[in-house]
Structures are given as C-alpha cells and as structure tokens.
A and B are shown apart, each in its own frame.
Chain A
Amino acid sequence: MTQTEFLNIVMPFKDKVFRLAKRLLVSTEEAEDATQEVLLKLWNNKAKIEEYKNVEAFSMTMTKNFCYDKLKSKQAQNLKIVHSNYEEKNTPLQKQIELNDSVSWVGRIIEELPEQQRVIIQLRDIEEYDYDEIAKMLDMNNTAVRVTLSRARKAIREKLTKTHNYGVR
C-alpha cells in the first residue's frame, strides 16, 4: 500500500479521531499526539488494513483505548501540579471569559462527565454515528449505549438549566 492510498483511507476520519482524543484528553497538544500515534499505528499495520471490515470504527476504538491508557497512566503517575499554598482572590481571567461564553460552558459541563458518557456524547452528538456503530466501537450493546447517552444528555440539560436560571456563578 502506498502513502497516497493510505491517506485516502485515513483522511476522512482523522479529524474525528482527533476530536475524540481531545474530548478525552482535553488538551489539544495531547490530542494531537494521540492522533499521530493512532495514525502511525495504522500505518505500521497497513498490511492488515484490508482485513478490517470498517477501518474507521476500528481506529475510533483504537483511539478510545489509547486515550484510556493515557489517562490511566497519568493518574498512576501521582504527580500533580496543584497550587497548595497559593490562592487567587479574584476569579482568574480565563475563567471569567469562559463563564461569559455559554457555549464553552457546555464544553466544561461535558468535561465533568464520566469518561464513557463523554465518549458517547462525542460519537453521537458531534460525530453523528448511529447506535450500532457506536456499540461496535465501544464494545457495548445497543441499549447500554442508549442508556448512557440518555444519562449524559440529562446531566448536561440539568446543569444547563441551573446555570440558565441562576445565571452563571
């Protein structure tokens, strides 16, 4: 398989891989690295690529697993950069701006959801995959996907109504 052939296969969904990685890892740089890693893995296994029925679904599963591993290893490192003796009196500038922007507020709400719900919201509401595809990617059954999705959507709606009614705190 030549490079161009490979790129033709990969191009349509590389953005989706990136967005999924970003949804899980939050930082853009890390998401870029993860995407690169996933694409390189695909490239190295290009001999097998024709055997896969659905390369896109396969790469999404790969991305998800890769990001989970990343997150796990991060937690295991136990080294966190946290200010313990420093407290800012005013709300930080970035936070203020974010709070003003209700759209990015949604992003923060999603960030607080459990990983699985985040993945499913990403795959369904942003990437618009159908339930069967998502079920296959995540190795879950159809109803479990629906239940998780419904929970995630309700959680988002609840938080949104709260901020909508009381104003952004």
Chain B
Amino acid sequence: MVLDNIEKLLKKYENGETTLKEEQVLKNYFSSDTVAPHLEMYKPMFDYFLVNQQEQFTKDVPLKTKNIFNYKWISVAAVAVLMMGFYFSPIIANSDCNDLGTYCEPEQALEEVSKQLAMISNHFNKGTQTVGYLNEVDKGTSALGYLNEIENTTSIIFKN
C-alpha cells in the first residue's frame, strides 16, 4: 500500500507536479532503511538533496560601515589651526632672540664664553696631571734594560 503510494508520488515527482509536502514524504521514505529494491536507484538522489541542505557558508563577510567623510570638518579644523596661529604668533615675535638659546647682549656673551673657556682649561689641566703617572711606567721600562745584561751572558754560554 505504502509502496503503491510512493510509486505514484515518484511519477508525479518526475512530472514536476508534486507539492512540497509530497516531496517531503518521498524524502522521508528514501532516507529510511526500508527502500524497495527496485526503487533503490532513487536513494542516492534524495540522500544527496538532504546532505546538500546542510552545507553552510562559513566565510566572514567584512561589512564596512561606510564612513561618509564630511568635508565640513576639514574647514572647521583649518579654522581652528588658523586661530591658534594668530593667537600664538605675537608671543613668538616679542621674545626676540631669547628662544634661540643665545645671548642678546654682546658683553654678556663675552662673559659667558670666557667662563666656559676657563672651565675647559681647568678640566684639561686635571687631565694632564693624571697623565703624569706615565713617567712611572718609563722608569719601569728602563729597569727592564738590565735584562739585556742577562741576555748577553746567556749568549756567551750558548756560544761555548
């Protein structure tokens, strides 16, 4: 009885006349294990349909929220920068050469320079004092000169 029904449905199915419900009946029948032997060739087809229903799209889609860039803001920023410029520029003009790290008065500059030079020469003298210790080394080497005497005597011994 069931088989009769299935065969009828299959015929309708092939003619494209089945409703979705009837197709579901067919799918259920063929996914069971009790398929009549002469209908077995349909089984892979319905199995395939069922398997393919499961396939999923796994890739991510980069959804970019489009930032519609508003050019108005550029003008706002430009105005702000300009205002800052106007606000700070007088200060720079007033401060003359002080910001450049030099002295404005020549006398003051001379004083400073001589101070610096004096400091440098001070340090330099300290350096030469420590170098004085090198004389000691010289003395040591002259003492080593006596070794030559020993060499002379050994050469005499080896000659004999």
Contacts and interface: CB of A to CB of B under 8 A. Distances in A.
Q: Decide whether A and B assemble into one complex.
A: yes
Interface of A: 3, 6-7, 14-15, 17-19, 22, 32, 35-36, 39-40, 43-44, 102-107, 110, 125-128, 130, 145-147, 149-150, 153-154, 156-157, 160-161, 163-164
A36 B61 contact: yes
10 contacts: A15-B55, A36-B59, A105-B44, A106-B45, A127-B53, A153-B13, A153-B16, A154-B14, A157-B42, A160-B41
Query: How many interface residues does chain B have, given as a range?
Result: 20 to 34
B52 interface: yes
B40 A164 contact: yes
B49 A125 contact: yes
Interface of B: 13-17, 20, 23, 40-42, 44-45, 47-49, 51-53, 55-57, 59, 61-63, 65-66
A106 B56 contact: no
Contacts of B56: 15, 18
In the complex, the 9 A-B pairs of residues with the closest C-beta atoms, listed nearest first: A18-B57, A150-B16, A164-B41, A106-B48, A146-B16, A149-B16, A102-B44, A32-B59, A160-B41
Contacts of A22: 55
With a 10 A CB-CB cut-off, give which of A104, A110, A153 has the most chain B CB atoms.
Answer: A153
Contacts of B14: 150, 153-154, 157
Nearest to B46: A125
A18 B54 CA distance: 11
A103 B54 CA distance: 14
A19 B55 contact: yes
A44 to B, nearest CB: 8
B48 A107 contact: yes
